[in-house]
């Protein structure tokens, strides 16, 4: 198999792929067995499939009225896991994460919504947009990728009852 990589001086060059191994979700390709040089590539070689792992920013929304939220970054998130699995993971992580104030750790989050997708326009809302709930709220029983979550997506994690109350009367307090 011939793997084409960009060369910073002369454009592109082709290298023959000699071996392949997979470890912890990343794929290793041995290019030159004589010199034992290795290149680690997270995406598949064909370029037709998306990356398996993503970096997601989860915005923990404690109060819509007071615009009280904290962003938390998660690396190496598997996009093929279900929404329930990811919510369970984030809930458990938030309750034990150092650096978060106790009110954020003990809050009853239950819903996730896409705030921003990579290469898309951002909303002018300070916490999150109140529109397109049917398409942007992550549905139970769905995989993250199927819900539109991709690498570098921003998600809001909040309590649905608080969101519906704020959506009915979107007044902020300062």
DSSP string, the chain: -EEEEEETTTEEEEEE--EEEEETTEEEEEEETTTTEEEEESS-TTSSSPPSEEEEEEEEEEETTTTEEEEEEEEEEETTSBHHHHHHHHHHHHHH-TTS-HHHHS----EEEEEE-TTSPPPS-SS---S-HHHHBPPTTSBTTTTT--TT-EEEEE-HHHHHHHHHS-----
Rounded CA-CA distance 134/117 in Å is: 16
Q: Nearest to residue 18, comparing CAs of 26, 30, 36, 2? A: 30
Tell whether the model's pLDDT for residue 28 goes beyond 70.
no
Which pLDDT score, from 0 to 100, does residue 13 have? 44
Chain center to CA of 22: 22
pLDDT for residue 146: 95
Cβ-based neighbour number of residue 114 at 10 Å? 21
Q: Which domains does the chain have, with CATH numbers?
A: 2-41 (no CATH), 53-168 (3.10.20.90)
For residues 75-95, give the mean pLDDT.
97
Residue 102 CA, distance from chain mean position: 24
Answer whether residue 30 shows pLDDT above 90.
no
| Residue 94 pLDDT greater than 90, yes or no | yes
Q: 81: closest CA among 113, 54, 103? A: 54
Stretch 150-174: mean pLDDT? 93
Name which residue leads in pLDDT, 69 or 13. Answer: 69
Residues of the chain above pLDDT 90, percent: 57
Q: Please tell me the pTM assigned to this model.
A: 0.69
pLDDT at site 135: 93
* pLDDT value of position 16: 47
pLDDT on residue 34: 53
């Amino acid at each position: 198999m011939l793997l084409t990589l960009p060369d910073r001086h002369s454009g592109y060059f082709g290298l023959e792929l000699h071996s392949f191994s997979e470890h912890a979700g990343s794929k290793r390709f041995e290019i030159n067995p004589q010199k034992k040089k290795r290149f680690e590539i997270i995406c598949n070689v064909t370029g037709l499939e998306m990356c398996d792992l993503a970096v997601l920013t989860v915005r923990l929304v404690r109060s819509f009225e007071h615009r009280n939220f904290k962003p938390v970054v998660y690396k190496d998130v598997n996009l093929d896991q279900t929404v329930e699995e990811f919510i369970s993971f984030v809930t458990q992580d938030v309750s034990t994460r150092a650096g978060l104030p106790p009110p954020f750790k003990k809050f009853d989050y239950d819903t996730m919504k896409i705030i921003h997708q990579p290469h898309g326009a951002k909303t002018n809302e300070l916490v999150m947009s109140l529109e397109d709930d049917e398409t942007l709220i992550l549905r139970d029983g769905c995989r993250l990728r199927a819900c539109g979550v991709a690498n570098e997506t921003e998600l809001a994690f909040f309590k649905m009852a608080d969101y519906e109350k704020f959506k009915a009367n979107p007044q902020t307090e300062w």
